Amino acid sequence: MKVITAHLLAVLGGNTCPSAEDLKDILGSVGAEADDDRIELLLVEVKGKDITELIASEGKMLASMPSGGGVTVAVAAPGAGAVAPTVVEPKKEETRA
């Protein structure tokens, strides 16, 4: 997920076709290690595709993938206007006495 996030940050920053080095720089700026194989796989998969169309078509699949966190944050796609991020709290399980 961190490689996908780095790619999305690059695109949101105006780089419509980020390179492996761009993604490594973004990940390195926050102290995250870059896995070359995952970066190359992602770049091959998204090459020549519009990121907003990918988000729209794959969003349901990505939303169902576990990401290791307990909170989901939804962010607007580029060009969608100024929208505040929405935080969705996980449901708490009811306990019976």
Q: Which residue has the higher pLDDT, 79 or 28?
A: 28
pLDDT of 87 above 80: no
Flag whether 54 is in a domain: yes
> Looking at the 3D structure of the chain, how many domains does it have?
1
The 10s digit of each residue's pLDDT in 42-59 is 899 888 888 888 878 766
Q: Is the pLDDT of residue 61 over 80?
A: no
d(CA 50, CA 52): 6
2 Cβ neighbours under 8 A, 6+ residues apart: 27, 32
- Output the domain CATH number for residue 24: 1.10.10.1410
Residue 64 within a domain: yes
Round the average pLDDT of the chain to a whole number and report it: 76
Residue 47 lies in a domain: yes
- Does the structure show a pLDDT above 90 at 27? yes
Range of the domain at 65: 2-70
Residue 85 lies in a domain: no
Does 20 map to a domain? yes
